Homo-oligomer: A and B are copies of this chain.
Amino acid sequence: MANVHFQLVDVDQQVFDSETIITPASLGLQSNPQSDWSIRMNRLHGGLSEGVDVISLHSGGLQLEVLPTRGMGIWKGSANGVPLGWNSPVQRPVHPNWVDQMRRGGIGWLDGFNELICRCGLGWHGAPGNDVICDSDGKILSEQFLPLHGRIANLPAHKVSVSASDDGPGRIDITGEIDEASMFGGHLRLRSTLSVVPGACEFRITDVVTNMGSNPAEVEMLYHCNIGEPFLGEGSEYHGAATEVAPRDPRAADGINMWNIFQGPTPGYSEQVYFTKPVADADGFGMAVLTNAEATAAFCVRFDTSTLPWFVLWKNTQPTADGYVTGLEPGSSFPNLRSVERKNGRVIRLESQEEVGFDLKFQIATNRQQARKLLDEVTSLQVASPRTIHSKPLPGWSS
């Protein structure tokens, strides 16, 4: 029974290891054939992927590819052979140096967007635009253009380590540390941990964001969990217990009656986004589940609503070539311009040295029985709380 630590990256200590294949054996841990695992960091070469480091985790039926170069996002994976991810027109991991976030009026972030899970944050996320701060007399105190979805998905980790234990069922943690800092621009630090229990088709993300600066700082975080086929297809359904659901805009309002049902790839389709207030379970976790039409496969994310009190469903069932995908998006706020979120009291404010944690658990069902179990859980959560579905955008949510 041991608890061991392996450093993959540490700029300060000049550690950078893309050679070692980390296994229970290499770490001196016990393992058994059913739950054997391995981790290796590998650098991609060529095209827009040049210099992108990929940490490949294999653990029983679960396989995940983590991108320390891209904010510890999870590029893609598989569960019992079923692919996790989607097909973006941006076909390979993009090194952030190719991403000019100011491109196309501030939506350059989309030039690198193709992950299964990427973070939007830390200082802000959401639509691009001018974040204007006024005093009580309406006098402008500051004005800053904020490009789409913040910086964190395009910032690299300066420290990455693996911790593993063979205590009980065992545990593997991949932890990355990323600074979102600038002189005269604040300093937020993300310490992100991806945890896996060997052999299980589940993983957990535990993030901590700390305000390293001396002044109070604003934080917004949204987990953009993007799922395509085979979980997504014609007739797929979204299941999530919520007290309120509202369309983001008139386009989404048009589809409110079918808001949680998915079309197949649809030419001419443009995205529909629904904002929701999730119901939490006894542990304070909300729950979002996407099932295929036959309910034989499901992708589930649970999230601690104490810091992720909102959930956004991004429906984007456009043709496959353009990116057929849906986003399950727990957030500390909605993905509106930060000034909208601030006005509505949804922006986190951290004092100096204060931190905020975000906790998410992912579970993949690859058969009917597992999927059913998840849906039953959603149902029992929803039954206990009445749900209001608004047919029009809610003023306090969308503007």
Query: Which A residues lie at the B interface, using CB under 8 A?
Result: 9-12, 14-16, 42, 44-51, 68, 88-92, 96-98, 100-105, 107, 110-111, 113-114, 144-145, 155-160, 178-179, 181-187, 212-215, 267, 318-323, 352
Interface pair A187/B97, CB less than 8 Å apart: no
**CA A45 to CA B43, docked complex, whole Å:** 12
A193 to chain B, nearest CB (A): 17
Interface pair B321/A14, CB less than 8 Å apart: no
- Residues on B with beta carbons closer than 8 Å to the beta carbon of A111: 182-183, 185
Interface pair B105/A145, CB less than 8 Å apart: yes
Indicate how many identical chains form the complex.
Answer: 3
Given A89-B181, A89-B182, A89-B187, check contact A48 B213 (CB 8 Å).
no
Interface pair A144/B184, CB less than 8 Å apart: no
A122 to chain B, nearest CB (A): 14
Interface pair B214/A158, CB less than 8 Å apart: no
Interface pair B187/A48, CB less than 8 Å apart: no
Interface pair A102/B100, CB less than 8 Å apart: yes
- Residues on B with beta carbons closer than 8 Å to the beta carbon of A320: 214
Interface pair A158/B46, CB less than 8 Å apart: yes
**CA A322 to CA B144, docked complex, whole Å:** 20
Interface pair B214/A110, CB less than 8 Å apart: no
- Residues on B with beta carbons closer than 8 Å to the beta carbon of A155: 48
Interface pair A213/B46, CB less than 8 Å apart: no
The contact of A322 among B96, B110, B214, by CB within 8 Å, is: B214
Interface pair A11/B321, CB less than 8 Å apart: no
**CA A96 to CA B9, docked complex, whole Å:** 20
Interface pair B179/A214, CB less than 8 Å apart: no
Interface pair B213/A322, CB less than 8 Å apart: yes
Given A98-B97, A212-B321, check contact A184 B46 (CB 8 Å).
no
Nearest-neighbor residue (CB-CB) of A322 within chain B: B214
A22 to chain B, nearest CB (A): 17
- Residues on B with beta carbons closer than 8 Å to the beta carbon of A160: 46
